[in-house]
A and B are shown apart, each in its own frame.
Chain A
Amino acid sequence: METFFNILLSGILLGGIYSLVSIGLNLIFGVVRIVNFAQGELVMLAMYATFFCFAKFGIGPYFAVFLVAPLMFLLGLAVQRLVLQPLQNEPMMQVFATFGLLILFENSVLAITRGEGYSLAGTYSRAVIDVFGLKASVSRVIVFLAATGIALALMLFLQRTMAGKAIRAVIQDRQSARLMGINVSRTYLLTFALGTALAGVAGALLAPIYTLSPYIGGNFILAAFAVVVLGGLGSVPGAYIGGLMVGLMESFAGYYVDPALKQAIWFIIFVVVLVVRPSGLMGQAGAEEVGLREQN
């Protein structure tokens, strides 16, 4: 029974990791209508930035996050303004552009680090909470709490603030939003930067858990796409709950079926959801098609 609860707990914590990575991806997808292939590499960049803060200046990851996230926000502004906005009327080219960014980021880090695996040394990754035999690494608990906090804060932001309402309006229909006087380009800019900053938060908080490699972004992103499809395109609570569900399914399948097969779970989810409920659990019906419709 203890094992069952340990699996449950590890699934929830893994779900926290997926949620954290997926929220930014989903926000960008829902608003800017770009499948951002480089999202995982943005997380990777943030992980290296966090490592750098620690190795060079002795700043721990839980402080570095307040430095890394704003920097990533600026990077997001630059990418949206300089790369994606000029391609605004060519959605296919935007997808290719994010793919290009993926390769650029990956290879830049490769060239600098020569592929050595870095790890954040120190006590961050060692602390463990043990309650009645239920064990959880503190760094993973922090990731879970952060994912929950961010999901709530983002929902409040989207519901209560003017900027949030503008974002929601653009999600629903960018043409009408523009007619209502919403500056769509600025909304895109803000959203992409926000999504990038969220990747920054994810990277900083995940850095203590993993051995950094330039390819690590790709490890997160496949699952994140499954989460986005399951949770619903453009939905913040969808990404959060979708992340938890994928984490739990993976954990139980890994333990009770076979660890080598657990990644197949993502794709089963992917296909089943697309067939049964293409808008995902919490997505707006029809949202999955809007991405393909001409929207200028």
Chain B
Amino acid sequence: MTRAGLLATAFATLLGATALAQEPIRIGAINPYSGPVALYGDEVARGYQLAIDEANAKGGVIGRKIELFRGDAGNPQQGIAAVEKLVGDKVDIFVGTYISAVSNAASDAAMRYSKIYWDTNALAADLTERGLPNFVRSGPYSASFAEVSANAARDLLAPALGKQIKGLRVWIESEDSIYGTSIAKRQKELLEKEGATVVGVGAHNFRAIDLTDSVLRAKGAAPDVWINTGYVPDGNLLLRTMRDQGFKPAAILLVGTGDTFETLEALGAEYLEGVAVVGYPRPDQTESYGPGAAAYLAAYKKKYERDPIAPQSMAAYVGAQMLIEAIAAAGSVDMEKVRAAAAKMDKPEKSYATGFGAKFDAKFQNTRAFPTVVQWQSGKIVTVFPKDAAQPNVKLVNLPRK
């Protein structure tokens, strides 16, 4: 070893030692870790853990190591209880979850202790609309999903169908709660602004036993593109009913769900061939769009000995990275200082593994975080949009649908 190398090692050890001597930064991760939706809760926490491991390997942040604490919450009441418990465990900062209602209650509870709630995965627009002084959202939200679906109709689907966005016939379907209808409303505005013809807007209950009526309505309107925002069971039932009723729009675009094995199992690879889905960015995108995506995938596989279960974990990983950067810039875990540091962040898009940048608006919504579009190809999910996120050898398949 050279003398310089020796010196560097000694220095690093010394740095590490000071980091150890200090109290660690405790981050409390609010997520469902038990019960119905625990699978994705675990997945999100894995993303946090990978970001924390990465930071700790570099000696931590502001001279302190980081530790992750889990707060189990599947509903708002549990969200509040989990925050209270973690405050008892001397947690400094909260991160969390993909369930908007839990995020809402837990961030409120964290505010009572003047602690940051750094949201990485919840989608409801009202979370940032509240103007809560401890709230930051690093990931995309419902409006970003609407925006990307409209862009995909214009730049991806219309050209693939050999058409212009102007006059493109679109049916907008959604489940009928605020989640689906708010996205559908925004999609309609954006698509009509682009000159597309919205031939119909349909809303259905996601617990409905039968959706033949919704499908026949859309079939009667003969759209080129059929867009649906919903949950897994209703999305699957709609697609099954479309198949039974022989409704074959030239392109199908699903928003939010439809990119997991749950849909593959229900419909089969053959029917799904060519179906596009707007969802969280996936590690298969190009390195230039999502720098670090490949490294993230490798780290995930090494630690958990499998592929990621869902793409939510990479958005969580990136969100935690941004949080750690904000702490470093603030030099503190203090609520106001971290928020002030977040407000100053200015990273262009394509800075993180998900392709996100970091620029927060006045309501602390990251304005440079967007979902991507994937397509089902032979039973596999392949990133196809934005174009620079897609691998160069990737081609669109089965558009228009046969």
User: Which A residues form the contact surface with B (CB < 8 A)?
Assistant: 3, 6-7, 10, 14, 17-18, 107, 110-111, 114-119, 121, 125-126, 128, 130, 135-137, 209-211, 213-216, 218-220, 223, 247, 250-251, 254-255, 258-260, 262-263
Contacts and interface: CB of A to CB of B under 8 A. Distances in A.
Given A128-B244, A259-B202, A251 B208 contact: no
Contacts of B38: 114-115
Contacts of B262: 116-119, 211
A250 B244 contact: no
Contacts of B208: 219, 259, 262-263
A253 to B, nearest CB: 8
Contacts of A128: 243-244, 246
Contacts of A258: 203
A118 B265 contact: yes
6 contacts: A110-B35, A114-B35, A125-B266, A210-B237, A214-B36, A254-B210
Contacts of A118: 262, 265
Given A219-B207, A260-B205, A6 B266 contact: no
Contacts of B202: 259
Nearest to A222: B207
B246 A130 contact: yes
Contacts of A219: 207-209
Interface residues of B, number: 34
A137 B244 contact: yes
Contact of A255 (B37, B209, B216, B232): B216
Interface in B249-267: 262, 265-266
Interface of B: 35-39, 176, 202-205, 207-214, 216-217, 220, 232-233, 236-237, 240, 243-246, 262, 265-266, 268
Nearest to B202: A259
B160 to A, nearest CB: 26
A115 B37 contact: yes
A211 B206 CA distance: 12
B214 A254 contact: yes
Given A17-B209, A251-B213, A254-B213, A259 B204 contact: yes
Contact of B213 (A10, A137, A210): A10
CB-based closest 10 A-B pairs: A254-B213, A115-B36, A119-B266, A10-B212, A117-B262, A255-B213, A211-B236, A260-B203, A137-B244, A260-B176
A211 B237 contact: yes
A126 to B, nearest CB: 7
B36 to A, nearest CB: 4
A117 to B, nearest CB: 4
B232 A259 contact: no
A14 B233 contact: no
Given A135-B244, A223-B209, A117 B216 contact: no
Given A114-B39, A115-B39, A211-B237, A3 B205 contact: no
Given A116-B39, A126-B243, A218 B236 contact: no
A121 B203 contact: no
Contacts of A125: 240, 266
Contacts of A110: 35-36
A260 B204 contact: yes
A210 B240 CA distance: 9
B62 to A, nearest CB: 37
Nearest to B268: A121
Contacts of A215: 207
